[in-house]
Amino acid sequence: MFPDRVSDTLGICLLTGGSHQVVFDGRKLDIPANSILLRRPGSIWSSPRSTIGFVCVDIGRDLLPKDARWHHDTFVPASALPALVEIADRLIVEDDRFAQQERVVKLIDTVVDLGFSRTSEADSERPHAAAIARDYLETCFASNVSLDDLAFLAGTNRFSLIRLFRRAYNVTPHAFQIRLRIEHTCRLLRAGIPVHEIAPIVGFSDQSHLTRHFARVVGLTPARYARTVRASYVG
């Protein structure tokens, strides 16, 4: 049960179990079982006692598009955001600030695309923003740049940067940075640099961070990749 409250965040909540009723600004909304509730910033809401489970991501106003105009609180089928639970889990355990910021921006963009908000932010304001960001990442792939910093360097905002970058290169800025780090790791391993020395060189926080991304991209752990390279030289 939630008594009357005002939430100053964008709420994205997956409700599991039975149907549930929420009162928004005096208006009752019956939410079907296994739906995603979209709660606009500044909403006054409450809900009666019931037995449900929920996973909720709350996003502060400072992370939202500055000129966003949010519609009435509503719900969408769980299929509209199938990865919400995974996103919530990753936001809790992710130790990469760039990755965290990018996940949040992509989640907000998805909600906007669902028609829950209108924004006048124009992707065309800086047509070369994606190229500027790519040039910086290629030169400084090991730096711990944040998404906000990268957008500032490119002369745009974080929402437009991700859209422009994906449109130009079919990958997000963070994923591109990870690929650059993995490519450089492969070069260092082929040069005989010990695995335990590489993580700080290419910008990963520690060896486990490197190993996790390397195995996902390459399909082998760094140590096994190094052994395979040495075996091919001997052969």
Is residue 115 in a domain? no
Is residue 114 in a domain? no
Q: Give the domain CATH number at 133.
A: 1.10.10
Cβ pair 98, 144 in contact under 8 A: yes
Query: What's the helix, strand, coil split of the chain in %, to 5?
Result: 50, 20, 25
Dihedrals φ, ψ of 234, to 5°?
-65, -40
Q: Is the pLDDT of residue 182 over 90?
A: yes
For the record, the structure tokens of 78 come out as 């769980």
Residues 6+ apart with CB under 8 A from 54: 13, 14, 15, 16
Cβ pair 98, 136 in contact under 8 A: no
21 in the same domain as 48? yes
What does the pLDDT look like over 77-114, one tens digit per residue?
999 888 888 888 888 888 788 988 999 998 998 888 88
Residues in the chain: 235
Cα–Cα distance measured from residue 169 to residue 209, given in angstroms and rounded to the nearest whole number: 25
State pTM to two decimals.
0.77
189 in the same domain as 145? no
Mean pLDDT of the chain: 88
* Domain boundaries, position 66: 2-96
What does the pLDDT look like over 36-56, one tens digit per residue?
999 999 999 998 888 788 889
What does the pLDDT look like over 121-178, one tens digit per residue?
555 556 689 999 999 999 999 998 999 999 999 988 888 899 899 989 999 999 999 9
What does the pLDDT look like over 188-207, one tens digit per residue?
999 999 999 999 999 998 99
Residue in this structure with the two tokens 């590489």, named with its chain if needed: 198
Q: Give the domain CATH number at 180.
A: 1.10.10.60
The pLDDT score that the predictor gives to residue 234 is 56
Residue in this structure with the two tokens 């752990």, named with its chain if needed: 221
Considering 81, 96, 111, which residue would you say is the last residue of a domain?
Answer: 96
